[in-house]
Amino acid sequence: MLQQSEWMNGFLNQLVDWLEKAASNDLLNYDQGWEPMRNDDFSGFMLYDIDKVLKAFIDQNSNVLINAIDYEERGNIIVTGSLCDSNKKKSSHALYILTESIIDNYLPNFIVTMKDLCDYCVSIGISDIKSIIERNDKNYVSEDKLFVILSVKRPANIIGSEQDIEFLHFVIQKDKHRKKKNRELKRIMPECKVSMLTHISERSQSLLKRLSGTQTEINESKNIALIGCGSLGSKIGMHLTRNGNGPFLCIDDDIFMPHNNARHALTLTWAQNKAELLALSMFSVSRVKANAINKNAFNIDYADSRIIIDTTASLSVRNFLMSKLELPPVISGGLYNKGQYGILFVENKTKTSTLSELWAFLYFQALENIELRKILFSGQENHTQIGQSCSSQTMIVDDSKISLYASMMSLILQEILESSLPKHGNIYLFKYSTNYSLITEVLSVPENVAVHTITEKEWQVSLAKNVHEKMIELMNYKSPNETGGVLLGTVLLYAKKVVITGLIPAPPDSIEKPNIFKLGTEGLEKNVKDIEKKTNGKVTYLGTWHSHPQGGSASQTDNKTFKKLLFVRNYEPTVCLIVTPNEVLLV
């Protein structure tokens, strides 16, 4: 008060304003909402879903509902529902009563007996409260308590809520009346003690979203498919669950074993399939739908999935995801170089930058990046003893570090789920810093240019847009002469795809004339071998390209050159491109 600008005058003005509003019954500002009843005598928690109760009033076309309820007394505190200890809970019933009309009179809580509760109910239009309670309680005379929930219609939404129904929760302590056939009857009398309880929302996606501040749609029909429910996958899955996301499809064919406890997100575990255990944990946290498939990722229908998250670090799974263009957008994450680095690959929404292009782009970046070469081409896994004569092939890294990477990846995934996948494919590189944090670098992968086939080809060819732009630049510079060079990139055998990510300029002994281009060989073999050595063979010589500045398709000479090149390369995947001002042709 002393720090206010008007000091005592400001305090007095505020007091006068409050007294004037109180005298005219204007303290409640409906623009702010309805202030809930003040409760000075808190006695415990009632756990249930308000929306389900409101729906039940409508479905049953009644203003009175009665439901079975479990409760537990912990000293002076009462808890209900799943808050109870299963070994200590007791059974009772809860009576829900909805007012007929809107009640706009505010009263604080002075209810301590059954008579007080009846008087309050009469004041809000529930004049037959005593008969309602007696009628519904006559079958439960052996129970110690009766829970009464008044659902009061208000003229505005309750502050902090999207409902205009105020729920007032009371528990009635029944009196011991008499015994009948060795059964003690417990009745509700005017002097019975009444206490007020506070509502607690049941576990749900909406509750988790409210606490997490996330904005994803709750009623999303398509799954988040999680391939791999191990250490990294389980942590990412639980992060997304706690953010209120779902539904999930958990996929893993492995069994949870004791050594998995070192780095897994789950705690209450036994020798059961990892996908089933993770799905169970997801449901227990948020009541979200989580289906489990306890087999590998290859023969599964992904039609009902909106995205696929792969955390397996499995080459076979990666090859499978690369080979299926009809799959939903894929996000693939893993740890490298003994946990010192993490990488997250994110396909774009239209799948014009697929996992194939993302990996090929990263391999090409390693050509000039020594640190990246260490990440990608160093040994990743160790054989670690988990029993006598039994070992596990895994990366040695502690749980905290995995959690750090999982948190960063989950933040990116949450943003994608709330907004959208990126316009272009992205690669996120995470480096563990000596100050216990992660340094993040984002690589945006160029779009691809369509390559038109002259003859039917079994393999797919992908050409990076920046490489095509370099070709156009060289063609215009050398025009009217034809020019060309060597294509560099990555061959993905399982996916039957060739991704062109770079060029080697034409050697100095090449011939460039208006109607002919002949590729020279000076220094070319050494250059190619050096590139393959640096990238562990992931970036290699793919074939050649040349320009047709005036347009036109492949000539007989071009076709002969391609066949000769294919023979020289022992029929390995080979690409010959013709670049014109308007298109790129595959010989």
Assess whether the previous peptide bond of 328 is cis (omega < 30° from 0).
no
Cβ atoms of 233 and 409 closer than 8 Å: no
Q: Provide the angle, in degrees to the nearest 10, between the axes of the packed helices 205-212 and 231-242.
A: 90
Could you read off the pLDDT of 67-81 as tens digits, one per residue?
999 999 998 899 999
Percentage of residues in the chain with pLDDT exceeding 70?
95
Give the Cα separation of 82 and 225 in Å (integer). Answer: 29
Confidence of residue 407 (pLDDT cuts 50, 70, 90): very high
Burial tier of 93 (Cβ tally within 10 Å: 0-12, 13-18, 19+): middle
Confidence of residue 388 (pLDDT cuts 50, 70, 90): very low
Mean pLDDT of the chain: 89
pLDDT in the model for residue 182: 62
- Region 367-384: mean pLDDT is 78
pLDDT in the model for residue 60: 95
Asked if residue 391 has pLDDT above 70, the reply is: no
pLDDT in the model for residue 508: 93
- Region 118-142: mean pLDDT is 88
3-state SS class at 582: coil
Could you read off the pLDDT of 439-487 as tens digits, one per residue?
999 999 988 888 877 555 678 899 999 999 999 999 999 999 999 999 9
Lowest mean pLDDT among 14-28, 181-195, 288-302, 502-516: 181-195
- Identify which of 11-25, 142-156, 440-454 has the greatest average pLDDT: 142-156
Asked if residue 510 has pLDDT above 90, the reply is: yes
Distances (CA, A) of 141 to 91, 147, 550: 12, 13, 97
Q: Which fold has domain 218-444?
A: Rossmann fold (3.40.50)
- Region 144-157: mean pLDDT is 94
Could you read off the pLDDT of 179-223 as tens digits, one per residue?
656 666 787 888 899 999 999 998 899 889 988 999 887 778 899
- Region 248-261: mean pLDDT is 92
Residue ranges, CATH 3.40.140.10, the chain: 448-586
Element at 121 (helix H, strand E)? helix 114-123
3-state SS class at 130: helix
- Identify which of 129-143, 170-184, 233-247 has the greatest average pLDDT: 233-247
* Tokens (6 digits) for 243: 């953010």
pLDDT in the model for residue 563: 82
Residue with the bigger pLDDT between 253 and 557: it is 253
Residue ranges, CATH 3.40.50.720, the chain: 218-444
Could you read off the pLDDT of 519-565 as tens digits, one per residue?
999 999 999 999 999 999 999 999 999 999 988 887 777 778 788 88
Name the CA dihedral angle for 21, 27, 29, 30, rounded to a multiple of 10 degrees: -120
Cβ atoms of 333 and 345 closer than 8 Å: yes
Q: Which residues pair with 557 in a beta bridge?
A: none
Confidence of residue 587 (pLDDT cuts 50, 70, 90): confident
Residues ≥6 apart with Cβ < 8 Å to 169: 46, 147, 148, 149, 196, 197, 198, 199
540: number of Cβ within 10 Å = 18
Confidence of residue 337 (pLDDT cuts 50, 70, 90): confident
In this structure, whether the domain defined by 448-586 belongs to CATH 3.40.140.10 is answered with yes
- Region 99-125: mean pLDDT is 89
Compute φ and ψ for 90, nearest 5 degrees.
-120, 165
Dihedral over Cα of 212, 214, 217, 222: its sign? negative
- Report the candidate in 429, 428, 424, 465 with the shortest Cα–Cα distance to residue 448: 465
Dihedral over Cα of 259, 261, 264, 268: its sign? positive
Asked if residue 354 has pLDDT above 80, the reply is: yes
Percentage of residues in the chain with pLDDT exceeding 90?
61
Give the Cα separation of 490 and 464 in Å (integer). Answer: 12
